[in-house]
Amino acid sequence: MTEKKLHPDQLYIDGLVENNSAVIQSIYKQFVPKVKNYIRNNSGDDDEAQDVIQEVLITIYNQAKIKGLQLTCPFDAYFFLLCKRRWLNELKKSSNKEVTLKDDTVSIDASVQEMTSQTEVFDEKQSLFDEMFQKLGDKCREVLQLSFVLKTMEEVAAKLNVTYGYVRKKKSLCTGQLTEMIQQSPRFRSVN
């Protein structure tokens, strides 16, 4: 037996992983209205709500794909808290915007808190990786991208008109460089 029981709402996570349209649509129908109302009531509009919701669902998808996310609390509470906190962060960033928060002081279940902070740490790490990837040189970005998009390194070599040996070496060194940039970032400590 496992120490923490998987919540039946794992079906929403599995549906996201499988890119199952019916499940994604039911997430929108069942859980999105509440988030939309919250953002509207807290200085946001529909476009902003749409973005926040999409970003949160992509984060959940990423975590499920890479780490095999196992939901141990209701999806509704988890999803709402993630959206809410992302929106509050957005508001903080654009502090020129006048913020009127209608905060509900409902206590949050510990398992929801824990799932949410796991996802936030994961997201923080992904965004650090992403940011550092963007800072790599053009050549490195190109070689890395092609080596994951194309099926074989031979194809990458042909596409770039260089030798197989060269792309292999370049891929290793560019990935290595990326790991060094990630490690040297001050943000690395907080997510690792």
Sites of contact with another protein (CB under 8 A): 1-2, 5-6, 8, 10-11, 14, 16-19, 21-22, 24-26, 28-29, 32-33, 36, 46, 50, 53-54, 57-58, 61-62, 65-68, 70, 126, 129-130, 133, 144-145, 148-149, 168-169, 171-173, 175-180, 182-183
DSSP letters, 25-93, are HHHHHHHHHHHHHHHHHTT--HHHHHHHHHHHHHHHHHHHHHH-----S-HHHHHHHHHHHHHHHHHHH
* Closest CB to another protein among residues 1, 110: 1
Cα–Cα dist 79/85, whole Å = 10
Give the residue with the Cβ less far from another protein, 7 or 84: 7
**DSSP code, position 5:** P
Measure the CA–CA gap between 123 and 118, rounded to whole angstroms: 9
Reference 124, options 43, 49, 39, 187; nearest CA is 187
Q: How far is the CB of 21 from another protein (least distance, A)?
A: 6
Residues 56 and 191: their CA atoms lie apart, in Å, by 18
Amino acid residing at 42: N
Q: How many CB atoms lie within 10 A of CB 91?
A: 19
Shortest CB 76 distance to another protein, Å = 15
Q: How far is the CB of 125 from another protein (least distance, A)?
A: 9
Give the separation between CA 27 and CA 16, rounded to whole angstroms.
10
Closer residue to another protein in complex, CB, 103/186: 186
Q: Minimum CB separation from another protein for residue 57, in Å?
A: 6
The residue among 66 and 158 lying less far from another protein, judged by its C-beta, is: 66
With respect to another protein, which residue has the nearer C-beta, 81 or 167? Answer: 167
Q: Smaller CB distance to another protein: residue 22 or 110?
A: 22
CB of 60 to another protein, least distance (A): 11
Give me the amino acid identity at 167.
V
- The distance of closest approach from Cβ of residue 13 to another protein in the complex, given in angstroms and rounded to an integer, is 9
